[in-house]
Amino acid sequence: MTPFDALYAAPAALTAHAPVIVIAAPLVGACAAALSPGARSSWVISVLTTAFSLWMAIALAGEVAREGVIDYALGGFPSPMGIALKVDAIAVTMALLISAMGLMGAIYSGHALLSEVRAEKHTLFQAGYLLCVSGYLGLVLTGDAFNAFVFLEISSIGTYALVAAGERRDRRALPAAFNYLIMGTVGATLYVIGVGFLYGATGTLNMADMGVRLVTLGDNPAVQAGFAFIVAGLGAKAAMFPLHGWLPGAYAGAPTLVSVFLAATATKAAIYLLMRFTFDVFPLDADFGRLFLHGILAPLAAAAAIVCSVQAIFAREVRRMLAFSSIAQVGFILLGFSLATQAGVSAGVFYMVAHALMKAAAFMALGAFAISLKARLLSDFAGIGREAPWSTVAFAVAAASLAGVPLTMGFLGKWSLIEAALQARQAWMVVVFAIGSLLTLVYVGRIVETMFFRAPTPGAPRAKEAPVGVLAPLWVLAGLSVWFGVDATLPASLADAGAAALLGAAP
């Protein structure tokens, strides 16, 4: 079904353990990076382990395409006694996305970190970054509700410190990191309390087992409270609309490497887990599930798509603009999921991948400018298109994808979202998509216009073109945004398989 069908990317002995190697490789790499003697060696370790992890994720994708769902029993104890990793089409799609972004970020960090983080901190910083990658990979691959909490915390605790490290550029990163920590921890604790309610009602922590046992329970206030807690907790992590306050400051303040990786993966991993609970664990046909999807999730997502796009238009700093845009785009993705149809979920997954590529590229380009230019406000970027054409054009490509210009992945994503909404007869959603896209066009247009068509401020520092180590991953991401906009077979097939896996498991 997917292009991975005939892919035997790794020896069978490795492939058999691929689910755990994907997670463990960056984890062991983090320890090695913390032990390594210098900045350079820690960077090499970072690149090698994320590359290894990506390789294993590709091998895993081939295996999943052939076998369907892979259950990996850690410690040799079958679930529900032991912890199982559950790898299906959607999990492997997320793992591919995260490990690929991890590799891109790792390559990019070689140059980008130099200007933003003290040299003697690099080894620990790379270690924290790898822990983060490992945490998100574990989060999407695990099939155990409590284990997911542990990985959520691994990724978060690493991230808080990494975001705070941005204070060298802008001290506002510190209170932003603190707010992120408070919201993240409250969210994670709400999640764990929710899991406790479900555990009290079902007696198991394995998500699949939980789903089976919940069907027989019927209406129970404890189960509903558990679900509400999980939604609130993961909603805070995913920056769902009223709980998104932490995100703009954190993304705007963090070192570029961290912004790139967070924008591409952090909220998506939380959304993925939320969807896993919504579709896999909770009986979808219950009134409660429907009420949640249509009565709560969809309106909130729509509000995010509109309100935060407007906030992005009025933001003065470009990073903050992109951060607000991220919340709005998360709204788009959630709208797709809230349809709960094959087309809707598939479009949501597709747009998730598209958004990861374009937002990562956009933040990378901003970081590339920042290497030579301490630019923050929109006006600082005036005329930069002539001074650093390669990075600016890459930014423009990403921005075009964000705005939904045809021949980009963003366009296809938005188009399939609209199609899915029409299919489900949700006309109001089409209106939301249209307004949201228009608003996106406005702020993206402002940035691109400033970069290319404004004359540089006289006396302002001149930008220089970024080094190849920065341009390479940037252009890979921007190129993929275009390539998949022309030929979307790969992401579309992954998204379709992923949606089928998510919905097929629903009773």
Partner 1 sequence: MSEFLTHFNYIAVVIIMMTGLFIVFSSGNLIKRMIGLALFQSSAALFYISLAKVTGGTAPITLEAASEAGRALAAEQVPGYVAQHGIDGVVYSNPLPHVLILTAIVVGVATLAVGLAIAVRVREAYGTVEADEINAVSRIDAAGLQAEHAP
Partner 2 sequence: MTGFAVEMSAALNVVLLLMLVAIGLAVAHTRNLLTAILLMSVYSLVSAAWLMVMDAADVAFTEAVVGAGASTIILLGAILLTRGATARVDWRAMVAPALLAVITGGLLIYASLGLPEFGDPSSPANAYVGRMYLERTGEEVGPHNVVTAVLASYRGFDTLGETVVIFAAGLGVALMLGFGPRATLAPAPEKMGDHHVVLRVAAKMLIPLITLYAFYVQFHGDLGAGGAFQAGVILAVAVILYGLVFGLRETIAAVPVKAARSVAALGVMLYAGIGVICMVNGGAFLDYDYLFSPQVEAMIPANLLGDPHEEHHWGQHFGILFVELGVLLTVSSTIVTIFYGFAGRSIDAEEAKR
Cβ atoms of residues 348 and 337 within 8 Å: yes
CB 229 within 8 A of CB 297: no
Contact by Cβ (8 Å): 140, 91: yes
116, 168 in Cβ contact below 8 A?
A: yes
In the complex with partner 2, the residue whose CB is nearer, 179 or 224, is: 224
Binding partner at 265 among partner 2, partner 1, none, C-beta below 5 to 8 Å by kind: none
CB of 245 to partner 1, least distance (A): 11
Please state, in angstroms and rounded to a whole number, the distance separating the CA atoms of residues 364 and 7: 31
Report the residue number, 275 or 315, with the smaller CB distance to partner 1.
Answer: 315
Enclosing H/E stretch for 86: strand 84-87
End-to-end alpha-carbon separation of the chain, Å? Answer: 23
Q: Which residues contact 394 (CB under 8 A, 6 or more apart)?
A: 361, 364, 365, 471, 474, 475, 477, 478
CB of 258 within 8 A of CB of 113?
no
With CB under 8 A as the contact rule, the residue among 3, 200, 461, 507 that binds partner 1 is 200
Give Cα separations from 39 to 51, 109, 119, 259, 309 (angstroms): 18, 11, 7, 20, 39
Choose from partner 2, partner 1, none: what does 317 bind? Cβ within 5-8 Å by kind.
partner 1
Residue 160 interacts with partner 1 (CB under 8 A): yes or no: yes
- CA distances to 66, 170, 239, 396 from 69, rounded to whole Å, are 9, 46, 29, 39
Give the gyration radius of the chain's Cα atoms: 21
Binding to partner 1, residues 162-191 (CB under 8 A) = 164, 167, 170-172, 174-175, 177-178, 181-182, 185-186, 188-189
Are the beta carbons of 394 and 402 closer than 8 angstroms?
no
Q: Which chain residues interact with partner 2 by CB under 8 A?
A: 17, 20, 24, 27-28, 30-32, 34-35, 72-77, 80-83, 118, 120-121, 124-125, 127-128, 131, 134-135, 138, 144, 146-147, 150-151, 153-154, 157-158, 160-162, 164-165, 197, 199-205, 213, 220-225
Q: Which residue's CB is nearer to partner 2, number 144 or number 380?
A: 144
Beta bridge partners of 341: none
Q: Kindly identify the residues of this chain, within the stretch 298-327, that bind partner 1 according to CB under 8 A.
A: 316-317
Give yes or no for residue 124 binding partner 1 (CB under 8 A).
no
121 counts as binding partner 1 under rule CB under 8 A: no
Gap between the Cα atoms of 142 and 462, Å rounded: 48
User: Cβ of 435: how many Cβ atoms within 10 Å?
Assistant: 15
The CB-of-33 to partner 2 minimum distance in angstroms stands at 8
For residues 146 and 142, give the distance between their C-alpha atoms in angstroms, rounded to a whole number: 9
- 316: partner contacted, choices partner 1, partner 2, none (Cβ within 5-8 A by kind): partner 1
From partner 2, partner 1, none, which one binds at residue 186 (CB under 5 to 8 Å depending on kind)? partner 1
Whole-angstrom CA distances from 144 to 80, 155, 199, 262, 377 are 9, 17, 11, 23, 44
Q: How far is the CB of 49 from partner 2 (least distance, A)?
A: 12
Provide the minimum distance between the beta carbon of 252 and partner 1 in the complex, in angstroms, as a whole number: 11
Smaller CB separation from partner 2, 162 or 365: 162
Candidate residues 7, 44, 193, 472; the one interacting with partner 1 per rule CB under 8 A = 193
Q: Site for partner 1 (CB under 8 A): which residue of 34, 114, 161, 418?
A: 161
Verify binding: residue 252, partner 1, rule CB under 8 A. Answer: no
Please report how close the Cβ of residue 169 comes to partner 2 at its closest, in angstroms. Answer: 15
Angle between helices 18-35 and 122-141 (to 10 degrees): 170
E strand or H helix at 43:
helix 39-67
Q: Give 120 or 285: the residue with its C-beta nearer to partner 2.
A: 120
For partner 1, the closer CB: 196 or 479 = 196
Q: Please report how the helices 409-423 and 468-486 are oriented relative to each other, as an axis angle in degrees rounded to 10.
A: 40
Q: Give 187 or 413: the residue with its C-beta nearer to partner 1.
A: 187
457 binds, among partner 1, partner 2, none (CB under 5 to 8 A by kind): partner 1
Q: Does 376 bind partner 1 (CB under 8 A)?
A: yes
Paired with 86 in beta bridges are 71
Which residues sit at the interface with partner 1, rule CB under 8 A? Answer: 146, 149-150, 153, 157, 160-161, 164, 167, 170-172, 174-175, 177-178, 181-182, 185-186, 188-189, 192-193, 196, 199-200, 205, 316-317, 376-377, 379-380, 457-458
